[in-house]
Structure 1
């Protein structure tokens, strides 16, 4: 009896966590593209106007980011202004929770058939590298090493701390700008 009450609560808690993480990741993608030249260089290979979506199937939480050109991303929230070009889809909220709680690496989740890619594989690989770079900056090293395929060897503590502070400052700035215009 108790289990029947706890399971729906656990599902809703995971869903809220995934929604929150998608909001943070979307804003952080925009911020890291303004801060880090390596991310911009990686993103420049993507076509301008590319709409990237990460979501939970079939109609779960999502984030939508647009490559506006010159390596910069713009976070659109959970609504795409037009059809997306590249979508990474988790098959279930539990799978998204595993990845976004850093219990499972994205590459492992893909290998375990927990997610799908709809679009160009080369673009998905590029976006995964951008996400890995972002996670390397904003997460503590011990957590980031569990989250990304390979932690950047050249990323030293002073650069990590400075970049993380700049990314978080941009996230907060964008949040306040969004709140003022709403």
Structure 2
């Protein structure tokens, strides 16, 4: 009986959490493309104007980023200015919550058929590498190891801390600019 009453609140809390995580991830993707040369090298291979979407099906929270050229990404929020080129979709809010709360690795979620890829799979792999690099920088090592398929062996604490600080500073700056606008 109590569980039936709590279920809508739990669902709302999960939806809010996933939405918040998508906002942070979108801004962080923009930030890492500005501060990390390896990420820029990875994203330079994307076509200019390339739109990437990650969302919960059918009309759940989403994040949209665009490759604006020279390896830089721009966060559009949850609405695309035109049709997206690549969409990674979680089949259910619970699946997105498992991945975004670091209870399940993205690779495991994909293997368990919890996600769909609509678009060029090679570009999806490239974007997954960018997301893994981002998570390796901004999450504590123990959490990042649970989130990514393989934690980078050559990522040492000084580089991790400096990069994370620069990414978080850019995310915070982006948030402040968004609130002012």
* Aligned counterparts, 1:35-74, within 5 A: 35-74=35-74
Deviations 1:25-58 (A, max 9, x none): 0000000000000100000111110000000000
Gaps of at least 5 residues in structure 2 are none
Paired residue for 2:97?
97
Q: Does 2:24 align with 1:24?
A: yes
Q: Does 2:18 align with 1:10?
A: no
SS of 1:68's equivalent in the other structure is strand
Q: Does 2:117 align with 1:156?
A: no
Paired residue for 1:175?
175
SS of 1:7's equivalent in the other structure is helix
Residues of 1 paired with 2:143 and 2:176: CA distance? 28
Gaps of at least 5 residues in structure 1 are none
Residues of 1 paired with 2:148 and 2:175: CA distance? 26
> Residue 176 of structure 1: CA displacement?
1.5
Q: What RMSD over aligned residues (CA atoms) do the two structures have, in Å?
A: 0.6
SS of 1:87's equivalent in the other structure is strand
The ranges of structure 1 where at least 4 consecutive aligned residues each deviate by more than 2 angstroms after the TM superposition are none
> TM-score normalised to the size of structure 1?
0.98
> Residue 130 of structure 1: CA displacement?
0.0
Residues of 1 paired with 2:170 and 2:72: CA distance? 13
> TM-score normalised to the size of structure 2?
0.99
Paired residue for 2:121?
121
Aligned length: 181
SS of 1:60's equivalent in the other structure is coil
